[in-house]
Amino acid sequence: MAKKNSAGLERQDAFIKSIEGQDFDFGLVMTQAFLKGIRDIGYKSTATALFEDFDNSIQAGAENIHLLFDFDKGKSGKSNPDRIAIIDDGHGMSKEMIRIAVLWGGSDRLDDRQGMGKYGYGLPSSCVSIGQRYTVISKREDMKDWYAVTIDIEEIAKHSPEYIDSKTGRVIAPEAKAAAIPEFVSKYLKEKKANQTSGTIIIIDKIDRLSKSSFGPLKKFLSQETGITYRNFLRSTNIFIEGELVEPIDPLFITEGYRYYDENEILAEALPSLEIKVPNSFDSTKIGTIRARYSYLPYGSISKSKNEDGEDIEEQDYDEKERLNKRGSVRKRNNGIIFLNYLNR
């Protein structure tokens, strides 16, 4: 009798044979499959991936975060960046901690229930969801030099000696080495007159996955999404995208002074908010408060903006074909979502 699904069985045998030649030690994670799979973790957009790194910067006490793009000057008509840099002036990391930070699960915050992240998956996952190589460069104030570790998925797939433990054959992160800040970053920081005595710089390159097909729309999209997501943090932390300070955006358009509040003469109207008390399951002495805010957008409030002469404003937005103004594009992309603030009392 013929074997059931002989092709599948042959594939199994070939796979077993291939890992036997790699001194496979039956560690809980199979590196090659994991790296391929984690790239498809499912971030909604490039923005949500980069926000993982913004979160880390804020948690590290950064006062300034910079998102910077670098283009290959030798390629004419290049519409997408070759490298992305996330730069902060937080407390930085030791060279030992840098090596841990590039790992999945490499975190010193596992017992921290107050921060935005603690499991150590955000940094590496966000980076590989955008490109195939990332470098973490960091320095504490008590360190003379900057140190860096690079993780290159392509080189790992080729079993590059840099990523293979010579004794066990396991895939490892290389040790951190003294490194110079990339020229495009140092030039930018000099122009901004930023004195980086400590902080972390993440470089993502070999970029092959961006949620926008060209840089112009990507930059606008990132600025808008950052303004919405970090609207509260922008009171104490400056975030710059290509040198431009991000303005906070209230997605309900009822906070005076925030971007799009007065996009046109028809203002959004605040409705009564709703508060729900939720006990903290880890500490019975604390009560969490969920506050749901609502607003009413009158007819015409999301229509394309006009100038004093009643003519359409020329500035382009994401929904030009539907003749929506900037408020309209925010409402459209966030339709059906209630934005919540969670506060521990």
Residues across the chain: 345
Q: Are residues 42 and 112 in the same domain?
A: yes
CATH (domain of 109): 3.30.565.10
pLDDT of residue 96 exceeding 60, the answer is yes
Q: Which pLDDT score, from 0 to 100, does residue 317 have?
A: 45
Residue 250 forms part of a structural domain: no
Separation of alpha carbons 172 and 155, rounded Å: 12
Alpha helical stretches, state H, the chain: 6-20, 31-38, 46-59, 95-101, 122-128, 153-157, 183-191, 215-229, 326-333
Here the tokens at position 253 are: 């358009």
The answer to whether the beta carbons of residues 134 and 39 sit under 8 Å apart is no
Q: Which pLDDT score, from 0 to 100, does residue 315 have?
A: 47
Separation of alpha carbons 281 and 113, rounded Å: 12
Q: Which pLDDT score, from 0 to 100, does residue 217 have?
A: 86
Residue 155 forms part of a structural domain: yes
Convert 242-254 to b/e letters by CB count within 10 Å (16 or more is b).
eeeebbbbbbbbb
Q: Are residues 139 and 220 in the same domain?
A: yes
Q: Kindly tell me the burial class for residue 257, based on how many C-beta atoms sit within 10 Å of its own C-beta (0-12, 13-18, 19 or more).
A: exposed
- When pLDDT is cut at 50, 70 and 90, the band that residue 215 belongs to is confident
Residue 288 forms part of a structural domain: yes
Q: Which pLDDT score, from 0 to 100, does residue 341 have?
A: 46
Residue 289 forms part of a structural domain: yes
Residue 255 forms part of a structural domain: no
Q: Which pLDDT score, from 0 to 100, does residue 160 have?
A: 92
Q: Are residues 323 and 238 in the same domain?
A: no
- When pLDDT is cut at 50, 70 and 90, the band that residue 256 belongs to is very high
Q: Kindly tell me the burial class for residue 142, based on how many C-beta atoms sit within 10 Å of its own C-beta (0-12, 13-18, 19 or more).
A: exposed
Residue 261 forms part of a structural domain: no
Q: Are residues 274 and 240 in the same domain?
A: no
| For residues 310-325, average pLDDT | 54
Query: Is pLDDT larger for residue 123 or for residue 3?
Result: 123
Report how many domains make up the chain.
2
Q: Are residues 66 and 200 in the same domain?
A: yes
Q: CA angle 59-64-70, nearest 5°?
A: 110
Domain ranges, residue 160: 28-245
- When pLDDT is cut at 50, 70 and 90, the band that residue 73 belongs to is low
Separation of alpha carbons 129 and 155, rounded Å: 17
Q: Are residues 276 and 234 in the same domain?
A: no
Q: Are residues 172 and 306 in the same domain?
A: no
CB atoms within 10 A of CB 29: 10
Residue 125 forms part of a structural domain: yes
Q: Are residues 208 and 330 in the same domain?
A: no
Q: Which pLDDT score, from 0 to 100, does residue 344 have?
A: 43
Q: Are residues 234 and 299 in the same domain?
A: no
Mean of pLDDT over the chain: 83
At 173-211, the pLDDT tens digits run: 999 999 999 999 999 999 999 888 999 999 999 999 887
At 127-139, the pLDDT tens digits run: 999 999 999 999 9
Here the tokens at position 5 are: 């699904």
Q: Which pLDDT score, from 0 to 100, does residue 74 have?
A: 56
